[in-house]
Each structure stands twice: as C-alpha cells, then as structure tokens.
C-alpha cells in the first residue's frame, strides 16, 4: 500500500518555541491531507484538512494561528505548532488521500505519528 511518512517521529521543545512537523506521501500524490491530534488513551481528533495550493480548513475549536498548516506541494504538508506550551504536548498524526472522488479500500493512508513534548 501507499506510504505516508512523518518527520520527526519524536520531538522535545521548550515552552514558547515553534515546532514544525512534516507529512509526506512517498509514492503517491495527495491533494488532501488531514491532521489529527491524539492524547494518551484517547481517540484521534481531527484538527484540520490540508488542501494543496489553498488554505487549510480547521475544525471547530482548533486555533488556526496556533497550528499553522501549509500544503505547498502534492507530496508535502507541514504542521507548525507556534509558541508551544506544555498543553500542546500530544501525538500528532497525518493522513493522506490519493487523488479525488470516492475512496476505494485503503485510500486513506496514515503516517506513523509525531510525538511532541513541550517542557
């Protein structure tokens, strides 16, 4: 199946700094990518939909100025957590869809996640 890669897989930063997480589709072009956030022992919460060449659309309650999303190419979306605070510590997971239209089996592919710890 298709591969989605995230980098870094693990990052620790100081409070007040910004952290960028990359999500790459390695063997397919992804017009749409999604960013999720997951707290320990909880489910994935959809944060935003990243669309290539246009602005991301954010879910209700997610601060767009806090979580900057850029989808500059068909294989790369980035999530930047700005002025990070300890409460931003979480597991961030991206997923990608190939092309458009109705999905076939397995068309939504997930990265391995990036664990952010803010001290």
Partner 1 sequence: GESVGLHLPTLSVQEGDNSIINCAYSNSASDYFIWYKQESGKGPQFIIDIRSNMDKRQGQRVTVLLNKTVKHLSLQIAATQPGDSAVYFCAETWHNFNKFYFGSGTKLNVKP
Q: What is the binding site for partner 1 (CB under 8 A)?
A: 1, 4, 6, 32, 34, 36, 39, 41-46, 49, 93, 95, 102-103, 105-106, 108-113, 115
Nearer residue to partner 1 within complex by CB, 75 or 114? 114
CB neighbour list of residue 32: distance below 8 Å, 6 or more residues apart: 49, 50, 51, 52, 96, 97, 100
Nearer residue to partner 1 within complex by CB, 1 or 53? 1
Nearer residue to partner 1 within complex by CB, 14 or 61? 61
Give me the least distance between CB of 61 and partner 1, in Å please.
9
Give me the least distance between CB of 85 and partner 1, in Å please.
17
DSSP per residue over 4-71, as a string? Answer: EEEE-SEEEE-TT--EEEEEEESSS-EEEEEEEEE-TTS-EEEEEEEETTS--EEPTT--TTTEEEEE
**CA–CA separation, 116 and 91 (whole Å):** 6
Nearer residue to partner 1 within complex by CB, 79 or 93? 93
Give me the least distance between CB of 83 and partner 1, in Å please.
22
């Amino acid at each position: 199946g298709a591969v989605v890669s995230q980098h870094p897989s693990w990052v620790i930063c100081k409070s007040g700094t910004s952290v960028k997480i990359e999500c790459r589709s390695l063997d397919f072009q992804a017009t749409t990518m999604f960013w999720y956030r997951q707290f320990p022992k909880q489910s994935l919460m959809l944060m935003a939909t990243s669309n290539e060449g246009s602005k991301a659309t954010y879910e209700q309650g997610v601060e767009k100025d806090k979580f900057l999303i850029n989808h500059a190419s068909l294989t790369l979306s980035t999530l930047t957590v700005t002025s990070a605070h300890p409460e931003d510590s979480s597991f961030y997971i991206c997923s990608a869809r190939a092309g458009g239209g109705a999905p076939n089996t397995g068309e939504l592919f997930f990265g391995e996640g990036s664990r952010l710890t803010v001290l």
